[in-house]
């Protein structure tokens, strides 16, 4: 499975076998936590591998996960970041690259939200000046053939290009089942509100990239990102979860930035993210970065 195929299979695993990772997979995890990361983090991002999943789950019951509902797994990654939006974005980007790599080896994962970094640090007795941005549950999916079954349950090809060509994509773009109703319009040209239609995206060679974006994980699957095409550059804006900006919003921005970059590279549009951008966006959005294409 290459990375772009892995993107389409991204699916949270919430039930795990009560079995530790094999020595080989354990080694793989440790090697992925070593620098260099696929994005420069200036030492502001860090990952801890907790082998003792059962104990972690017990300690964090009622503390981590949606409404304190901890996901039980044989192991966890603790995602640490300096308390700055830009570092949370970097953490999301790097962590998602690790998740995709693990999935390629049949190792399931699930993001687990953390409401209070301080409480988690106290429970896990972590001595660090970084924040606990999130946890990632990991292990072998309880259901055998989890990824294969999930994939075969989808009748049509998920990538419209592989079998059915462009015509089907328009259908997907408009009736996208993973995009909540009313928010199918999430790519703008030049200015916020100036919606890019499928023809325009196709003309620019971006159509498939946005197809892949819907697989990017987000809190409660809210998919908070929007894009503004500015000539050859693309700005990403992220919707705030609450009235004030939360660091967790930036984590989701980083996750989406990783997906976006990977899809762009796969489509042959090489480039990189700058962590700041200029554009007018509504008050409940912030700018996560600007993707600059190699000229
Ligand atoms: C920052 C973040 C925190 C998340 N927290 C949780 C969580 O606490 N519990 C959970 O079950 N899923 C969590 N998720 C997973 C999302 O619910 C999931 O990515 C999204 O709903 C897509 O669903 P799927 O992976 O099942 O297709 C989280 C995802 C992100 C990005």
pTM for this predicted structure: 0.89
Evaluate: CB of 291 within 6 angstroms of ligand 1.
no
Mutate to test the pocket of ligand 1, among 218, 247, 248 (most ligand atoms within 8 A of CB): 218
Gap from CA of 204 to ligand 1 centroid (Å)? 31
- Band (pLDDT 50/70/90 cuts) for residue 156 is very low
Considering the domain 156-293, what is its CATH architecture? 3-Layer(aba) Sandwich (3.40)
Identify the pLDDT of residue 149. 64
Ligand 1: nearest atom to the Cα of 215? 27
Domain with CATH 3.40.109.10 in the chain: 3-147
End-to-end CA distance of the chain: 30
Backbone conformation region of residue 182, classed left if phi is above 0, alpha if psi is from -120 to 50, else beta: left
Is it the case that residue 266 has pLDDT exceeding 90? no
Mutate to test the pocket of ligand 1, among 92, 110, 154 (most ligand atoms within 8 A of CB): 110
Residue nearest atom 2 in ligand 1 by C-alpha distance: 219
What are the backbone angles phi and psi of residue 112, rounded to the nearest 5°? -125, 120
Residue pointed to by tokens 């004030």: 244
Identify the pLDDT of residue 197. 84
User: What is the C-alpha separation between 219 and 114, in angstroms, rounded?
Assistant: 11
Backbone conformation region of residue 293, classed left if phi is above 0, alpha if psi is from -120 to 50, else beta: beta
User: What is the C-alpha separation between 141 and 123, in angstroms, rounded?
Assistant: 26
Q: Please give the share of the chain, as a percent, with pLDDT higher than 70.
A: 86
Q: What is the pLDDT of residues 165-191, one digit of tens each?
A: 222 333 233 334 444 333 346 899 999
- Measured over the CA atoms of residue 213, residue 148, residue 103 and residue 64, the dihedral's sign is positive
24-28, 85-89, 92-96, 192-196: least confident range? 192-196
Domain with CATH 3.40.109.30 in the chain: 156-293
Q: Which residue has the higher pLDDT, 64 or 267?
A: 64
Evaluate: CB of 100 within 6 angstroms of ligand 1.
no
Is it the case that residue 1 has pLDDT exceeding 60? yes
Q: What is the pLDDT of residues 82-119, one digit of tens each?
A: 999 999 999 999 999 999 999 989 999 999 999 999 99
Q: What is the pLDDT of residues 36-85, one digit of tens each?
A: 999 999 999 999 999 999 999 999 999 999 999 999 999 999 999 999 99
Evaluate: CB of 254 within 6 angstroms of ligand 1.
no
When the candidates are 3.30.360.10, 1.20.120.1750, 3.40.109.10, 3.40.50.2300, the CATH number that belongs to 3-147 is 3.40.109.10
């Amino acid at each position: 499975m290459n990375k772009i195929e892995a993107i389409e299979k991204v699916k949270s695993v919430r039930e795990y076998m009560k079995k530790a990772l094999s020595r080989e997979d354990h080694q793989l995890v440790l090697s992925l936590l070593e620098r260099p990361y696929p994005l420069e983090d200036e030492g502001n991002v860090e990952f801890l591998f907790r082998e003792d999943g059962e104990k972690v789950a017990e300690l964090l019951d009622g503390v981590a996960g949606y409404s304190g509902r901890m996901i039980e797994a044989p192991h966890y990654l603790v995602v640490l970041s300096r308390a700055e939006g830009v570092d949370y974005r970097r953490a999301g980007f790097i962590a998602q690259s690790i998740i995709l790599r693990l999935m390629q080896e049949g190792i399931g994962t699930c993001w687990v939200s953390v409401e209070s970094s301080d409480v988690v640090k106290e429970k896990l007795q972590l001595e660090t000046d970084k924040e606990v941005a999130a946890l990632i549950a990991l292990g072998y999916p309880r259901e055998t053939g989890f990824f294969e079954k999930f994939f075969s349950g989808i009748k049509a090809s998920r990538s419209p290009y592989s079998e059915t060509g462009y015509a089907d994509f328009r259908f997907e773009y408009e009736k996208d089942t993973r995009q909540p109703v009313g928010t199918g319009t999430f790519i703008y040209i030049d200015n916020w509100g100036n919606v890019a239609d499928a023809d325009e995206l196709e003309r620019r060679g971006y159509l498939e990239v946005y197809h892949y974006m819907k697989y990017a994980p987000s809190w409660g699957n809210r998919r908070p990102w929007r894009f503004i095409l500015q000539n050859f550059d693309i700005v990403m804006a992220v919707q705030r979860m609450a009235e004030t900006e939360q660091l967790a919003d930036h984590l989701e921005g980083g996750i989406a930035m990783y997906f976006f970059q990977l899809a762009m590279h796969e489509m042959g549009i090489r480039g990189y993210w700058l962590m700041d951008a200029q554009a007018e966006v509504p008050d409940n959005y912030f700018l996560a970065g600007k993707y600059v294409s190699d000229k």
